[in-house]
Amino acid sequence: MGLWGNSNTVESRPKFLPVDSNAAGSMGARENAIATTGGWGLSPGLAASGNDNADAQPEVLVCIKNLGKFRGSATVQSIDWTQGEVADTGTFDITVTFDEAVDITSAARSANQTITNKAYILLSRLGQTDMVEDSTVACQYFSGSGTNQLVFRGLVQTNAAAGYLAFNGAGVGDGITPGEAAIVFDGTSALDEEDGNSALSIMQESGTGGNASDRIVLDSIAAITAKVNGAITTATTALVLDNNSGTIAVGQKVYSLVGATSLTDASGNTAISQDGTLTVAATNGSTSVTLNKAVTVANNVDLNFSADGHDEILSDSIDFTVQGVDGATNIMTGVTFTGGDADVKIGALEDGTDDATGGTIILDATDGSGTDTNDAIVAEDASSDIAVYTEQGSTSGSAQILMGVTVAAS
C-alpha cells in the first residue's frame, strides 16, 4: 500500500503523519491533512503549520493535481469535544473536522434554541436517574468557516437534576434521524467547498458512468430546446438558433443534450457543456442570444435552456458516519477517540514479571469451568476510550451518551 492516495477513504491520507492528534512533531496529525487543488495539504492556523493564520495558504505536503475536486464532496473526518462537567446553563462545544476546507453559511449563533436558517447539531440533556430527555441543546455554528474545522456551540438548559449529554436521535428524544446524529442545515444555511460546489450535494456513486466527484443534478426535461444554426469555430458569445420549442429568457442555463464534446469554451474545455456555468446574458429576438462566455459549437447541436438546469440536489443534513483513522463506520457504534482503545484491560503485571500473556492479568479457567481461558479482564465501556457508550440510569433506563461529559444540577 502506498504512503498516500487520492480517494476519500481514510487510507488515502498521508501515512507519514501521526494518527494521534496530540503526537509531538512539527508535521501535524493525520486529521490535519486536507485535500486542496494542489494535493494533500496541512490545515493552516495550527501550531504544526507554523503560523496562527487560519486564512493562510495551506502548505502542500503531497502534490496531486486537482485532488480537492476529484475526491468528491467534503466529508467529516473527526468529531471532538472537551470532557468534563458542564455547568448548569453553561456552554458546550463540538468541533467537526472535514477532509478539506469548507465555507459555511449560517445565521448568527444565539443563546437560545432558535435554529432558523442555522446549521446546528442537536443534543439531548438526559437525567442521570432515568436517562430520559429533560431538554435539548441546539449546538449552533459558532466559528471556523474557511477552514476544515467547524465549531458548534450550544447552551445547556437549566435543570434541578444532574445530567448527561447525548446526540439527539441516538435512541432518545425526537431525533432528526433515529439512531443517528447529524449536522442539520435549516432554511438558507449551507455548506460549500472552496471550489464553490455545495458540500451537501448528492453524489454519483463511483463506477456508475462517472467519477466519484460527479454530482446528481436536475435534468430539466421540460426546459426550452433549440438547435444551433451554424457552426461556431472561433469562440464567440453570439449564438444563432432555430427550432426553438419556446421562449428563451435571460439567466437560463445552457447545456448540451448530445454530450460534453459538442460544446467547448474558448480554451477548448468541455466542462462548460454540462457544468451549468453557461447562461443566457441577453436575447436578440427569438433566434439569437448572447451568452455569458465565448464558446465553440458544431452545427445542429441540440441545446437545453432552463432556469433550474443542472441545479444540485442537496441534502438537508450531514450524518456522523465518521470514517475515523481506522476506517470505522458510525460514531454511534463504538468508535474510539483518536489513538484510544475500546478495550481497557484491568490489572497490569509488575515490571519484571513474565509477560507472555501481554503484561495483563488473565482468566485461568484451565479446569474447564469456562470458555474464556487466557482472556484479559476488560473494564466497562465507561472506563474505555469509546466516544459514545451506553450508560444505565441509577434507577431505570439506558441511553448512549457522550463519553466523559456530565451536566451539573442547578
Mean pLDDT across 215-244: 83
The H or E element containing residue 67 is: helix 67-70
- Residue 217's pLDDT band (cuts 50, 70, 90): low
Q: Is the dihedral angle over the CA atoms 322, 124, 85, 333 positive or is it negative? A: negative
Q: What is the CATH number of domain 224-306?
A: 2.40.10.170
pLDDT value at 80 more than 90 = no
- Ranges of each domain in the chain: 10-70, 75-215+313-359+387-410, 224-306
Q: What confidence score (pLDDT) does residue 323 get? A: 45
Q: What confidence score (pLDDT) does residue 178 get? A: 40
Q: What confidence score (pLDDT) does residue 170 get? A: 41
**Percent composition of the chain: helix, strand, coil (DSSP 3-state, to 5):** 5, 35, 60
Closest by CA to 332, choosing from 205, 200, 177, is 177
Write out the three cell numbers for 204.
454519483
CA–CA dist 45, 24 (Å, integer): 17
Q: What percent of the chain has pLDDT over 90?
A: 25
Specify the residue for cell string 437525567: 127
The H or E element containing residue 68 is: helix 67-70
pLDDT value at 408 more than 70 = yes
Q: pLDDT averaged over the chain?
A: 76
Q: What confidence score (pLDDT) does residue 296 get? A: 92
pLDDT top residue among 313 and 89: 89
- pLDDT tens profile 125-172: 999 999 999 999 999 999 999 888 899 999 999 999 999 998 885 434
Q: What confidence score (pLDDT) does residue 223 get? A: 79
Q: What confidence score (pLDDT) does residue 326 get? A: 45
Q: Is the dihedral angle over the CA atoms 80, 83, 86, 90 positive or is it negative? A: negative
CA–CA dist 144, 154 (Å, integer): 15
CA–CA dist 75, 40 (Å, integer): 15
Write out the three cell numbers for 110.
444565539
Q: Which residues, other chains included, contact 350 with Cβ-Cβ below 8 Å and sequence gap of 6+?
A: none
Q: What's the Cα-to-Cα distance from 352 to each of 45, 270, 349, 356, rounded to whole Å?
A: 45, 70, 8, 11
Rg of the chain in Å (alpha carbons): 27
Q: What confidence score (pLDDT) does residue 257 get? A: 75
Write out the three cell numbers for 349.
503485571
- pLDDT tens profile 328-386: 444 455 555 554 554 545 455 555 555 555 555 555 555 555 565 556 555 554 545 57
pLDDT value at 175 more than 60 = no
- Residue 209's pLDDT band (cuts 50, 70, 90): very low
Q: What are phi and psi of 3, to 5 degrees?
A: -80, -10
| pTM for this entry | 0.65
CA–CA dist 266, 278 (Å, integer): 12
Task: Give the chain's end-to-end CA distance (angstroms, integer).
Answer: 54
- pLDDT tens profile 270-312: 878 777 788 999 998 878 999 999 999 989 998 888 887 666 6
Q: What confidence score (pLDDT) does residue 363 get? A: 57
Mean pLDDT across 388-401: 87
Burial level of 366, CB count in 10 A (0-12/13-18/19+)?
exposed
**DSSP conformation letters of 167-183:** ETTSSSSS-SBTTB-EE
CA–CA dist 381, 401 (Å, integer): 11
Mean pLDDT across 2-9: 70
SS3 192: strand
Specify the residue for cell string 491533512: 33
- pLDDT tens profile 237-257: 999 999 998 899 998 888 887
SS3 241: strand
* CA of residue 59 relative to chain centroid, distance: 22
Closest by CA to 112, choosing from 157, 169, 158, is 157
